[in-house]
Structure 1
Amino acid sequence: MIYLENEIIRLALGDWSWNASVAGFINIIGEENVTYDGASAQIPVNCLEDFEDRYFRYFIDTYEKALPWYRIVSFKNTIGFYNENGFEGLDLKKLKSINDYIKDTVKRYLTSNSFKSAFELMGEAERMAELEKNLSKVREPKDDTDFEKVKEEVIGELKKQFEIINKIIEYCGNENGRRFIGAKNVIYTIIRNGWNGISFLNPQTKIKDIYEDYRTYFVDEAREYLAADKQKFRYKCFTCGAPIRDMNNDMSFLNQSGFDTARKPSHVWDFVNDIALCPVCKLIYSCLPAGFVYVNNTGLYINANVNMRYNVRVNRSARDSVLKEGRNETASRRIYKVLVEAMERERIEKSRYELADVQVVRYENERFKFNLLPESTIKLIHKYHDEISGLIRTGYKEGKESYSIYEQVLENIFNNQNLFLLVYKLLHFKTASNKDCFFHMGHVEDILSINAGLIKSLGGMENMDENRNYINEAKNSGYHLRKAFMKNNEKTGKIPGISYRLLNALKTGNRNMFMDVLLNSYLYTGNKVPAVISEIFRSDELFSTIGYSFVTGFIAERSDDSGNEANNEKTVNGEEN
């Protein structure tokens, strides 16, 4: 996967971790230094000059606004705002916010080990320690009335603290501060997600300067190897097959991929290790975190492993989309949204590159998770794009935990699992505890539509009539039965009990129980059993689809009880969605 010709490094696509590392390497050096050739890329050796600076600069530039360093220096705008308008608009709430910044941001980070080590590299350790010691919260009055009485005193004290904060920002915000503090931040928030235990991530490293440490361990070794005479090298690189001098560079530093060959000799054949890397491959693998996009501790990489240019650009587009999303979005939700967008692009690009199945790699809870998405899944996501997008802000609470419906639907789609269990749970919660449900029945209907498409893509529902909308028919039938109950008694308590029994029958796949409850209900109201009910005997999938659709209409929304038809516009709390 690596070839060296006339001072040119040629990198070819391989497995997912290598492809992500190559994409990260190209992100770091810049595409202007790369010549693409199908599934490979050519890069001049001179790109390794000052590579350690480019390495950290990429991470700092990419994740700047998510770094603790930025949380400190960005407060300069707030200080400027108050100084310009003479602290007009300052109240007790804003004072508490400033105090929170002083305590939870400035003092917290300035006393952390990573910041202290960065200050030592900057030669500002003693000065920053003194500034942190002098910085303190401003006394907060008990209430707004007391605040107004002592407002001038508060402003005077704030000015003193702002002077200290300005000095802190001055040291942290200069080029040297960004270089070292930013680097320390990305090491522990981004880089460590990909690899650990060596170079500056080795607790016992003797080199304090992280830039020098990375250059010595990765860059210098790679350049020396490229210039060396390899004719007498006995071993071969496990990744690229190039000759290597010894087996010292193993893959144990890669998270969830490598292993310690000294402690785990049983992992290799006959207890003799034959897994080692050449220094160039080791350097490329150190760029693995740059191939992913991370939000907090969640990462994403799309292994578009047919064309090198597309592999780089589809992930760069995903990166830009994730980082562009607002901070009010949860990390996992942002990742899933971008993944759906990437699948849309994948569908378009497929005609150009004739891509086969798409491999998606997610980093969650310090583990890599893999999904192989076939063409049918990509088409399904495209077909139901609007329905899936409509679920983005939906969810429910179970106990003290909150769950995203959007994420669960996509997770099931990626794993080719039907959504009946999720639908059961949503309908059960809607009946039992409506206050913990942040969705309406129109969302459940959309999930049932997505689920029907998913089952069809997997070869199910073969006996269904393509010209009929079973979901809509069953939903309306359920709604009209509800109306019949409400007509007899507007405050009837029968609906929840009947709903529970129907849901129980659906969950257990018991058609007889379902029909028994249903027929008794229609006998009670004197209504005719709709024709769509007889379709439940065609297949198990149709039974569940029609049954859950019926219960969806039967439970309905509270706003529907005033006379709105079940197939009217979907509303949440009376507002159009």
Structure 2
Amino acid sequence: MDEECEAFLESEVKVYLSKLYGQKSFLQRQLKKDFKKVFIKDFEKPILNAKVPVDEKHICISCGLRPAKKNVLFDTGLSPFLGVNKDALNVFWQFNPKLPLCEICELIYFSAFAGLTDFTRGNNKVFYFVNRDSSVEELYNANLLLQQVLKKNTNENFLIDFFTELILLEEQQKAEYSLQNIALIEIDLSKDILPKVFSFNISREKAKFIKNHTQDLKSLARLGYEIKDERRYVLFELIGDILRNSLTYGYVNKLLRFYMSALRPAKRSSFKVYYYPYHLQTITKIINTFIEYVILRRTPMHEEKDLWSAYHRGKELADRLRTKKAENKIDGIAYRLVNALRIGDVNTFMNVLIRTYMANEMEVPAMFIKSFVDKNTFYAYGYSFINGLLSKDKQQEENNE
């Protein structure tokens, strides 16, 4: 039984490797047995016996430590996809494709495909590798994480999923530095093209922002919404916008409209949300800080407590309307305020706010008058106010999750 199992595994390994390396050594089609012996003869023994002539004039260009072998061709099955092969002589010094490599580095390059993670996309199989220069341990862990993400996510959005989970796994004290130099390499063997590189070279400001908001981001991990049975996750979308530098208040505006639509009986069949207004307040806080520190790169004209103050002003107005048996007016007021902020219409927003406060014999919060001088501050206060207006008791909302 063990012999049959070993024979089966040998056959599977041979089929797999032949797709990568062609008919080399033990992978030749006419070879029907003794694969291991041929492999040992062609690859292991030459290294162990060290009979290959050494080029005393040159040091290995890869490690810079050991003498190079003589007449080494940089051909590992992977190198042709990087443009390094004997057919591309114009990229070599004096048109000589033989490079000074030592035996150990040659073996490492030959084993490059062992570190790639395969992924089936359509009819093609592509390979991925995460490159990190912080440490070997982090390099290994990042590629292990990529394998786990690809196992559970078969769509094209796995990159955002991967980077999101990588961010949340970083130790907080070193995230600011280790997140600044990560790249994902994609190799498609079915096409004669150079590999794609998905760079994760984020600025120091953005890395610091992510580090400072790790706990806030983790708190959003379970949030999402459904549109016609298609589930989407808030955290992945948020991280995607952060990486693309496209995070704006438009995102919280969209989530507010989805939330209000899901409350309407006619829309419930096509809209489902898995978050509450106090979650949206956390998102509003993240967006505000991102714009202030990463986009505008300035010291904010307001503090986090000011956003929560606007949130509680909205909550107070909602409580007054409920006391007056006018709870049914809350959604209508919120819709008008959300639409005004969506198009940046400050005058309409203030007109709705003033009329509502006057009708309920309440004083308009002074913070809105003071925020006219800065539009980002006004948006931060406006969305915080709407979040509070739509919220109910926080404990009740948590119990409903």
What TM-score does the superposition give when structure 2 sets the normalisation length?
0.68
Quote how far apart the aligned CAs of 1:240 are: 6.4
In 1, distance between residues paired with 2:349 and 2:89? 56
Q: Residues 239, 267 of structure 1: CA spacing in aligned structure 2 closer, same or farther, 3 A cutoff?
A: farther
- SS across alignment from 2:53: coil
SS at match of 2:82: coil
- In structure 2, relative to structure 1, the CA distance for the partners of 1:187 and 1:460 (3 Å cut) is farther
Could you give the per-residue CA deviations for residues 220-269 of structure 1, whole angstroms, max 9, x where no partner exists?
A: 69839964335499x998866886766854577369x6248699x69959
Q: Tell me the equivalent position of 1:253.
A: 78
CA distance in 1, matches of 2:314, 2:219: 23
Instruction: Call closer, same or farther: CA 1:372–1:213 in 2, change over 3 Å.
Output: farther
CA 1:213–1:320: 2 relative to 1, 3 Å: same
1:406 aligns with 2:241: no
Across the two proteins, how many residue pairs are aligned to each other? Answer: 371
Identity of aligned residues (%): 20
Q: SS where residue 372 of structure 1 aligns?
A: coil
CA distances 1:378-430 after superposition (whole Å, capped 9, x unpaired): 44333322221111122122344322212222333344443523222211211
* Alignment-mate amino acid for residue 183 of structure 2: V
The one-letter code of the counterpart of 1:407 is: F
Q: Give the aligned partner of residue 5 of structure 2.
A: 177
Whether 1:360 aligns to 2:189 is: no
Among residues 314, 317, 340, which one is paired with 2:168 in the alignment? 340
Match of 1:198 in 2: 21
Q: 1:408 to 1:513 in 2, by over 3 A?
A: same
Aligned to 1:372: 201
Counterparts in 2 of 1:260-409, with a 5 A limit? 278=101, 281=105, 283-288=107-112, 291=115, 301=130, 303-305=132-134, 311-318=135-142, 333=161, 336-344=164-172, 346-347=174-175, 358-362=180-184, 368-409=197-238
Residues 129 and 186, structure 2, Cα contact 8 Å, conserved in 1: no
Q: Secondary structure at the match of 1:392?
A: coil
**Residue equivalent to 2:253:** 424
The structure-2 alpha-carbon separation of the partners of 1:232 and 1:423, relative to structure 1 and needing over 3 Å to count, comes to same
What is residue 192 of structure 2 aligned with on the other side?
none
In structure 1, the partner of 2:301 is: 464
Shift of 1:532: 2.2
Assess, with a 3 A threshold, how the Cα gap between structure 1 residues 495 and 343 changes in structure 2: closer, same or farther. Answer: same
Q: Which residue of 1 aligns with 2:191?
A: none
The amino acid that maps onto 1:253 is: L
Query: Residues 301 and 555 (structure 1 numbering): CA distance in 2 closer, same or farther, change over 3 Å?
Result: same
Q: Secondary structure at the match of 1:465?
A: coil
8 A Cα contact 1:247 1:276, kept in partner: yes
Pair 211,186 (structure 1): closer, same or farther in 2 beyond 3 Å: closer
Aligned residues of 1:536 and 1:542 also touching (Cα < 8 A): yes
Name the residue aligned to 2:278. Answer: 442
What is the rounded CA distance, in whole Å, between the counterparts of 2:345 and 2:389 in structure 1? 19
CA contact (8 A) 1:292 1:300 kept: yes
Cα RMSD after superposing both structures: 5.0
Give the number of the structure with larger relative contact order, counting CA–CA contacts within 8 Å between residues 6 or more apart: 1
Secondary structure at 1:433 match in 2: helix
Q: Is the alpha carbon distance of 1:251 and 1:288 closer, same or farther for their aligned partners in structure 2, counting shifts above 3 Å? A: closer
Helix, strand or coil for the counterpart of 1:393?
coil
Amino acid in structure 2 at the alignment position of 1:361? A
Task: Look up the match of 1:4.
Answer: none
On the 8 A contact 2:179/2:202 being kept in 1, the answer is: yes
